[in-house]
Structure 1
Amino acid sequence: MSDTTLWAELLAYGTGIGLSPIHIAVLLLLLLGPQPLRRGGWFVAGWVVTTLLTATLLVTVGHTLVLDMSHGSHHRTGLDLLAGGALVAIGGRELLRSFADGAEPPAWTTSIDRFVAMPLPLLLLLGAAGEVISPDDLVLFAKSAGVVLAAQLPTWQEIVGLAAFTIGASLFLLAPLIAVIIGRDRVIPILEKGKQVLFARGGLVVGGVSLGLGGYLGWQGISGLSLL
């Protein structure tokens, strides 16, 4: 695998993880509420730490198990087919739900205000748990770890790769936080508009991304079957 392909795949999988409508919506509400920098900053920090620790743990476990993640191997092909099928199913479900609901906001939007009002430690704990137990996120974490293992990088390059993946997976949270740091008053209308769009079309965006990634991984798995 070339360096360009490696970084492109890590960026794509990180983007899929970063497109978490619930986490983005929570951050936007935190940034629009009291103590925006403190509460929003800690929330983003919790996301970054959770992402990095999860990816590092999976890569470490992969090394311990001596998994062969080269294209066409049993481990790689099985993971590609499983991940592709799961993401296609999740993406299809989100799209169908979005079309069925029409202009109605997703069900999770009705309780998100109570979630944001929780004490900060509990909010961070539930946010981290929500990231690591999400089925589509777990699939993308596993696939990202597989890409790093397949590249057979030296340790320092693995560290750089995991850091880059974490940053890529955090861009959708880092961007609004940085905007608020630069000038909160100027970006409040943008944050409000982003919240409205996310509540109305978040499922559609996530469904489209999941279908695209799922189709790509399914194609990788099918091509890998021909090499077995």
Structure 2
Amino acid sequence: MGEAIGQILSYGVGVALSPFPIIGVILMLATPRGRINGPALLLGWVLGLALVGTIVLLVSGGADPSDQGQPADWVSALDLAIGVLLLWVAVKEWRDRPRGDEEVALPKWMKTVDSFSPAKAGALGLALSAVNPKNLLLTIAAATAIARSGASAGAQAVALAVFVVIGALGTGTPVVLYFALKERSKHILDGLKSWMEKNNSAIMAVLCLILAAKLIGQAVSDLSS
């Protein structure tokens, strides 16, 4: 189990440092329904990570993810494909980053969070974690790493739970601050939101580049051994 958890730590951090969900939950917490919608988005986020991870583990469990202690070729090929896709995301984010005083382009849904119901907030959280390309790729990579560790089903479930908890830290921190500090959290959350808006593309580009290098290097090493 220790090996499985060690494999997924970097992926969990990559998911946790997702600027748009963090910005989104901060915006929701500032609305009249913030006490309900903020936690609802967080719950949807957690469910999305858990759902994708569970599906990948179930599929991998019946497809021999390892062969005599070494990753099966299809696992290494999947790692390589995910790495290449993350590299593409990194390049795209870097090229699209705002220059100078250029205004940051934010998703249209962020302008309508005042009208969100708890169900819609939860659905948004699920979509941001399970459908967003970067988070989807990282969750698949994490679940595949867990599956090929050779751990028991119970140990794999624990490793996936650890990944989900780590992946929820970024989106969950504003919610915890909101309820713990109440009015005093406003200044902190506004500052975090502004910083995330300004540095969104750079954060995404660096994260995806580092994780892409890890996956591609690992896949090349496995396929050549």
TM-score, structure 1 length as denominator? 0.89
Q: How does 1:1-228 map to 2 (within 5 A)?
A: 3=2, 5-68=3-66, 71-98=70-97, 101-109=99-107, 111-115=109-113, 117-227=115-225
Q: Deviations over 1:100-127 (max 9, x none)?
A: 5443343225551214532232232233
CA-CA distance at 1:71 after TM superposition: 4.2
Q: Deviations over 1:137-186 (max 9, x none)?
A: 22212111111111111122111111111001000011111111111211
The letter of the residue matching 1:174 is: G
Give the 3-state SS of the residue equivalent to 2:96 in structure 1: helix
How many Å separate the matches in 2 of 1:103 and 1:19? 24
More moved, 175-184 vs 113-122: 113-122
| Larger helix proportion of the pair | 1
CA, structure 1 residues 142+109, in 2 after alignment: closer, same or farther (shift >3 Å)? closer
RMSD: 2.0
Give the 3-state SS of the residue equivalent to 2:64 in structure 1: coil
The letter of the residue matching 1:209 is: L
CA-CA distance at 1:206 after TM superposition: 1.1
- The runs of at least 4 consecutive aligned structure 1 residues that moved more than 6 Å come to none
Q: Percent identity?
A: 23
Give the 3-state SS of the residue equivalent to 2:66 in structure 1: coil
More moved, 69-78 vs 176-185: 69-78
Would you say how many aligned residue pairs link Structure 1 and Structure 2? 224
